[in-house]
Amino acid sequence: MTDTLLSGELTDRELQELAEQAGRELEGASATEILKWATDAFGPRFCVTSSMEDAVVAHLASRVLPGVDVVFLDTGYHFPETIGTRDAVDAVMDVNVITITPRQTVAEQDAEHGEKLHDRDPDLCCALRKVKPLEDGLTAYAAWATGLRRDESPTRANTPVVGWDAKRRKVKVSPIARWTQDDVDAYVAEHGVLTNPLLMDGYASVGCAPCTRRVLEGEDARAGRWAGRGKTECGLHG
């Protein structure tokens, strides 16, 4: 199975069927078991993506596949704390942090589209600074892991633990999809996992600085992203 997958001989339809079957069979599995399946199936063609809100999935994956690639998307708009978390993860964890960037710097984008595109057309800004760069950055991989959780927002409530990313034609693994925030907090405490300092300063979800605010009591974790707009996702996850 592994040799076949790594040789790229499976068609998109076969990969989709594999992902959907794994999603059903691994629904009740632990995060480690899900990641073990992914690393056994895809080896070096598997990576973890991280926004550096925390390093939970990267830490889990490093226990299964030491030296695993952790892809970080530097949009040019991150909080300093986020860049600091990335640097700390790279320094202390058994992972290979790979930083990818958009085609244009913020200054170049401003010159072409005008300043503060994120205020005028956040969907376009996300497409230019997140969606397209990640698509390019994942080219070498057949499968990628995310830290999506079902309890984060209604739009993520049906996240499969393993599914098919039709947009990028890749297997998408969400090993902590069934976890709650309490599960995350317990894992962080037990293993001393690095987290973004902003999580201790009122932020429940950390994205680009211009489009992220602290959340109010009773709000869901995504309420601080693109506040005041109908937008709840950047496009990376649908």
Binding residues for [4Fe-4S] cluster: 125-126, 208, 211
Q: Are the C-beta atoms of residues 174 and 190 closer than 8 Å to each other?
A: no
Can you tell me whether residue 99 is helix, strand or coil?
Answer: strand
From the candidates 71, 234, 235, 237, give the one annotated as an active-site residue: 234
List Cβ neighbours of 34 (8 Å cut-off, separation of 6 or more). Answer: 26, 161, 162, 173, 175
Query: For the purposes of burial, counting CB atoms within 10 Å of the CB of 227, is it exposed (0-12), middle (13-18) or buried (19 or more)?
Result: middle
To the query of whether residue 47 is one of the catalytic residues in this protein, the response is no
Q: In Å, how far are 12, 23, 37, 44, 66 from 51, measured between CA atoms?
A: 27, 23, 23, 21, 20
Side-chain half-sphere CA neighbours of 69 within 13 A: 20
Q: Which two tokens stand for residue 105?
A: 């710097």
Residues contributing to the annotated binding site: 125-126, 208, 211
Distance CA 93, CA 96 (A): 9
Q: Are the C-beta atoms of residues 54 and 89 closer than 8 Å to each other?
A: no
Dihedral of CA atoms 191, 95, 237, 37 in degrees, nearest 10, equals: -80
Catalytic residue numbers? 234
